């Protein structure tokens, strides 16, 4: 009886750790594009759209990657998140994000180092502007 219980537990654990048996589909993002609008001086609006997102966080990260690259393109090293609104409809996720860009580390808690963020986006395969 002990041996049967051991085999059951081993099979159950294998099922828990095997990604093929979990029923979840692999993450397959479809990055559909970025629209960038300069609002005022250092205030920039990014609208991104993607399919295959797992949650708000995936589309928010896409917008952050766009903001970081935009900051570098404009000759700035930093950005500060102001706000992001996320919407999902029929499997298409959209984010409407606003960031400030600056040459020096801005005040606030939600700042990003543009070079570090763009490098991370390249490693994770998230496109930038």
The domains of the chain are located at 29-124
94 closest CA partner among 82, 102, 106, 86: 86
Tell me the C-alpha distance between 85 and 96, whole Å. Answer: 5
Measured CA to CA in angstroms, residue 27 lies from 24, 50, 52, 102 at distances of 9, 12, 7, 33
pTM of the model: 0.79
CA 19 – CA 72 distance, rounded (Å): 38
In this prediction, residue 91 carries a pLDDT of: 95
Q: Just give the CATH number of 29-124.
A: 3.30.1360
The whole-number pLDDT of residue 22 equals 54
CA dist list (Å): 88 to 3, 12, 79, 98: 49, 35, 25, 18
Structure tokens at 128: 């930038």
pLDDT score for 2: 47
Sheet bearing 92-102, strands edge to edge? 30-40, 43-51, 92-102, 78-89, 111-113
Could you tell me if 41 and 102 are in contact, meaning their C-beta atoms sit under 8 angstroms apart? no
pLDDT, position 106: 83
- Three-state DSSP class for 73? helix
- pLDDT the model gives residue 129: 76
Q: Average pLDDT by consecutive 10-residue portion of the chain (129 residues)? A: 41 38 75 96 97 97 98 96 97 97 88 96 93
**Tokens 């990260």 identify what position?**
61
């Amino acid at each position: 009886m002990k041996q049967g219980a051991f085999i059951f537990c081993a099979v159950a654990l294998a099922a828990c750790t095997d990604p093929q048996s979990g029923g979840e589909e692999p993450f397959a993002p479809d990055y559909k594009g970025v629209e960038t609008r300069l609002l005022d001086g250092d205030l920039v609006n990014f609208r991104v759209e993607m399919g295959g997102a797992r949650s708000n966080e995936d589309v928010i990260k896409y917008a952050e990657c766009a903001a970081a690259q935009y900051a570098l393109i404009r000759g700035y090293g930093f950005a500060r998140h102001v706000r992001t609104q996320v919407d999902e409809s029929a499997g298409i996720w959209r984010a409407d994000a606003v960031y400030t860009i600056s040459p020096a580390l801005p005040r606030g808690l939600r700042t990003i180092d543009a070079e570090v963020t763009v490098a991370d986006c390249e490693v994770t395969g998230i496109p930038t502007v």
